Amino acid sequence: MKRVTRETEEAARKVTRRTLMLGGAMASMVAILGARMRYLQVDEADTFKLMAEENRINIRLIAPDRGLIQDRNGKVIAANEQNYRVVFTREGSDNVALVFQRLAGLIPMTAEDVTRNIEAVQSLGAYVPVIVAERLSWDDFSKVALNAPALPGVNTEMGLSRFYPLDRDFAHVVGYVGPVSERDLEGIDTPDPLLKIPKFQIGKTGVEKWLEDTLRGSAGSRRIEVNSAGRVMRELDREEGVPGTDIRLTIDAEVQNFAQARLGEESAAVVVMDVTNGDLICIASSPAFDPNLFVRGISHTDYNALMEHDHRPLANKTVSGAYPPGSTFKMVTAMAALEAGVATPGDQVSCPGYIDLGGRRFHCWSRSGHGRVTLDRSLRESCDVYYYEMAQRVGIDRIAEMGRKLGLGQRFDIPMSAIVDGILPNKAWKQERYKEDWVIGDTINASIGQGFVLTTPLQLAVMTARLATGRAVVPRLVHAVDDREVPVAEAPPLGLTAEHLAGVLDGMFQVVNDERGTAFSSRIVEPAMIMAGKTGTSQVRNITVAERDSGVISNVDLPWNRRDHALFVGYAPYDAPRYAISVVVEHGGGGSTVAAPIGRDVLLRALAGGLPPLEAYPASQRGRIETMLQELPLRDPVTGLVPDRIRA
């Protein structure tokens, strides 16, 4: 029995030890679990609460209001309009195709639209909202909102979209906005988060592009609560963004509209510049286009029509069109010779109608010649031979140097697209460009604005302003930013001899106001508005010896694209210059018959502050001018609409 007792006691001791060990292990596990629970529920409570909140709360960016663009008088030329749109978030839908099928039954959506939108949402993150339809009517917008329960992932929003109330008048200046592309993002190290919002629009051309950072503003944000299906339940809070800054341009919208209407369907450009401060009052390129088409998504048909048009409506001819300046360049050659001391205003040159040089004959436009010619007559009657002689005396390098001093051959810092430098050639330029030596024939051609010389209408307006004032006037397009006027520094003197400058300006006066002047028929008779100027006609084709012998073919008998370009530069009033103007009409024919009348009419519009007064025209022209003014398709200054006819 003792042995059994001992065995029982030993077994009991073993059981007790095991029980204690097991109990201790269990107690340890309970302690660890308790500590972990305390850590999760107490110490990390805030963290896990936040994580839970983020599972059902989304933060979305709010696009700011884009800054307005106005003309110099505060008229809005780039505005924002209400935009009803439909937004889709893939995270909120299990069947994207079905949702879009239902959506297409409610609002106008083609099969192509559906396919494109499905591809767009599937290529982006599940939480990224994508605009699938916009600019909806209120009825269509309401249909989507009412059917929201059957459209998981779909939300309706009201936002703003760009609108150009004066459409064609400012298409080339203001430009237009469009959705951000991969190309837009290239080269940006840290892009604004706004740029990653699908279909967010930014400036693509013109002022919209070059002042994008100023106009865009800063994003706001909103916190929204969504249910398990991704549908927005409520907005928890909102922080509005900072609107973009308003920009006021130097352009006068009414002068701009008059210039566009006056150019009609010509392939042409007009630039009007305030010579006192460089303000661009008008910078019109024709024909134009409606920039609203690009904002809304231009169709292939409309885009192809613009691209295939022989008058190039998408091109801004004022700054990207480079043309031989023709006789409007003669003031440059004259000033170069005078300032170099190789000629005086009274020097006479004999013009028999041509010169022979290096085995080649260079013709004057007047086949019979002009006889004995001085500076004023050479400008008044546009004698070519006079400038052939001046060019031989002074040389191309000094002519090019004078051209640059007067504003040619350079790109001005204004916020416009596709600005070109033009070409103001010299000996070094030809050697670098063509690996050839400069020859005397090159100088002869350059002296009358032909050959290698190319200028833009903007440069010609600057040249004219600098001649009129004797100062290095610089063009500017931005008048004020956020109602704070951009300061203008006084233009420094060009350092030209007053006597020489006066001789050139006198010749320009005679061009318009002497009955033998090439622009006499386009004169202004109102004493307070008298204009000075210079006509130009630049060839776009070679005239053969045979054609000269048989008679040069008239422009009207040539195909449009082989006719000469018509040019005019001028300023007014002559005795107290205020505005300078340049006009280029592609393949327009003669500068005196086509470009000069346009220049006079637009200058008068700028000077008068209203329609050109009939009293400023010669009496014999007033009946014709009155009819022309009545028939111009001008905008109503109050409504902004373009009626069929507005009477003077």
Residue 58 has pLDDT above 60, yes or no: yes
- pLDDT, residue 647, reads 36
* Euclidean distance between CA atoms 265 and 629, whole angstroms: 16
Q: Are residues 173 and 278 in the same domain?
A: no
* Residue 222 domain boundaries: 58-249
Instruction: Report CA Rg, the chain.
Output: 37
pLDDT at 32: 78
Do 426 and 532 fall into the same domain?
yes
The verdict on residue 44 lying in a domain is no
Task: Report the domain count for the chain.
Answer: 2
**Higher per-residue confidence, 49 vs 42:** 42
Tallying the residues shown for the chain, one arrives at: 648
In a domain, 371, yes or no: yes
Q: Tell whether 178 and 295 lie within a shared domain.
A: no
Task: Residue 223: give its domain's CATH number.
Answer: 3.90.1310.10
Q: Is residue 587 part of a domain?
A: yes
Q: Are residues 616 and 506 in the same domain?
A: yes
> Is residue 211 in a domain?
yes
- Mean pLDDT, the chain, whole residue set: 88
Query: Shortest CA distance to 318 belongs to which of 586, 536, 579, 577?
Result: 586
Q: Are residues 333 and 402 in the same domain?
A: yes
pLDDT at 39: 67
Side chain identity at 154, as an amino acid letter? V
The gap from C-alpha 486 to its chain's centroid, in whole angstroms, comes to 20
What's the CATH code of the domain at 596?
A: 3.40.710.10
Determine contact, residues 464/458, Cβ cutoff 8 Å. no
Examine residue 41 and state whether it is found in any structural domain, yes or no. Answer: no
Q: Percentage of the chain with pLDDT > 90?
A: 62
The answer to whether the CB of 123 falls within 8 A of the CB of 130 is no
Residue 648 pLDDT > 50: no
Note whether 208 and 275 are same-domain residues: no
In a domain, 15, yes or no: no
Whether pLDDT at 201 is above 70: yes
Q: Residue 645 has what pLDDT?
A: 41
Together in a domain, 63 and 180:
yes
238 and 259 share a domain?
no
pLDDT bin (cut points 50, 70, 90) of residue 196 is: confident
310 in a domain, yes or no? no
Q: pLDDT tens digits for 123-154? A: 776 667 788 888 888 888 888 888 888 888 88
3-state secondary structure at position 285: strand
The whole-model pTM stands at 0.85
Q: Are residues 400 and 524 in the same domain?
A: yes
Domain membership of residue 42 (yes or no) is: no
CA-closest candidate to residue 583, choices 558, 601, 561, 559: 601
pLDDT tens readout for residues 299-352: 889 999 999 999 999 999 999 999 999 999 999 999 999 999 999 999 999 999
Domain co-membership, 392 together with 293: yes
Q: How does residue 61 score in pLDDT terms, banded at 50, 70 and 90?
A: confident
Query: What per-residue string of b and e applies to 433-445 under the rule 16 or more CB within 10 Å gives b?
Result: eeeeebebebbbb
132 and 80 within one domain:
yes
Question: In the prediction, which pLDDT does 41 show?
Answer: 66
* pLDDT tens-digit readout, 216-260: 998 887 777 766 555 566 777 877 889 999 999 999 999 999 999
Co-location of 223 and 296 in the same domain: no
